[in-house]
């Protein structure tokens, strides 16, 4: 009996060791375009005259077509067992030098619709080489379901990783947008910056 239990335990360890690492990769162009088209009204900026309730109106199609061109999927992973999709999406950030900001997304599709959407983290803007290193590490931890709180701004000392969530701002999965207990939200900050 003890030998059987040991063999079962040993076999389970071997199976786990043989599982492929959940590292993301670049999706093919068609997959990337299809996914970006699905999520752009969540991850893209909000048009000046739109609200979160009206941003899906066809009047904003042209705006979101332009937003699509600013975004790219840097990493993609699909869990074959659960169907969960993980994305690392980045876009150019306002800066005097070329910098990007990345968002780690966990989502699930049902047919052609998004059944679940969560922006797990948004990084600080960084030069591309630094962002590639830090964001890919955060992405792998997100896919593995590991705690990212040590990389939150209040915990990461002077090293910049994650800008949001922070003590005041979190992603609301039901509303599918960032919310804050402060009067200034990430969206309001972006809107103010766009108006300048």
178-186 average pLDDT score: 78
Of 101, 72, 107, nearest in space to 86 by CA: 107
Q: Is the pLDDT of residue 16 over 90?
A: no
Give alpha helix (H) positions in 51-185.
Answer: 61-70, 128-144
The pair of three-digit structure tokens given for residue 174, joined into one six-digit string:
């039901």
Q: How many CB atoms lie within 10 A of CB 3?
A: 7
pTM, full prediction: 0.82
65-70 average pLDDT score: 96
Secondary structure letter of residue 115 according to DSSP: E
Q: Is 61 exposed, middle or buried, given 0-12, 13-18 or 19+ CB atoms closer than 10 A? A: exposed
12-17 average pLDDT score: 42
Q: How confident is the model at residue 4 (pLDDT cuts 50, 70, 90)?
A: low
d(CA 92, CA 113): 27
149-155 long-range contacts (CB < 8 A, ≥24 apart) are 151/121
* Cis peptide, bond prior to residue 165, ω within 30 of zero: yes
d(CA 55, CA 184): 20
Average pLDDT of the chain is: 87
The per-residue pLDDT for 125 is 96
pLDDT in tens, 103-137: 999 999 999 999 999 999 999 999 999 999 999 99
Q: How confident is the model at residue 12 (pLDDT cuts 50, 70, 90)?
A: very low
Q: How confident is the model at residue 187 (pLDDT cuts 50, 70, 90)?
A: low
Of 145, 82, 71, 84, nearest in space to 114 by CA: 84
Q: Is 112 exposed, middle or buried, given 0-12, 13-18 or 19+ CB atoms closer than 10 A? A: exposed
pLDDT in tens, 71-98: 999 999 999 999 999 999 999 998 889 8
């Amino acid at each position: 009996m003890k030998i059987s239990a040991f063999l079962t335990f040993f076999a389970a360890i071997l199976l786990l060791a043989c599982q492929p690492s959940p590292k993301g990769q670049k999706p093919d162009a068609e997959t990337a375009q299809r996914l970006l088209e699905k999520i752009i009204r969540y991850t893209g900026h909000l048009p000046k005259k739109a609200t979160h309730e009206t941003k899906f109106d066809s009047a904003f199609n042209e705006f979101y077509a332009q937003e699509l061109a600013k975004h790219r999927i840097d990493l993609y992973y699909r869990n074959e067992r659960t169907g969960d999709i993980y994305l690392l999406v980045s876009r150019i950030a306002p800066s005097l030098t070329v910098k990007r900001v990345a968002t780690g997304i966990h989502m699930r599709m049902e047919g052609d619709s998004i059944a679940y959407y969560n922006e797990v983290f948004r990084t600080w803007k960084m030069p591309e080489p630094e962002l590639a290193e830090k964001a890919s590490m955060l992405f792998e931890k997100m896919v593995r379901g590991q705690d990212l709180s040590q990389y939150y701004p209040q915990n990461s000392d002077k090293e910049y990783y994650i800008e949001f969530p922070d003590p005041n701002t979190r992603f609301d999965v039901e509303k599918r947008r960032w919310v804050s207990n402060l009067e200034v939200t990430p969206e309001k900050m972006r809107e103010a910056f766009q108006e300048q």
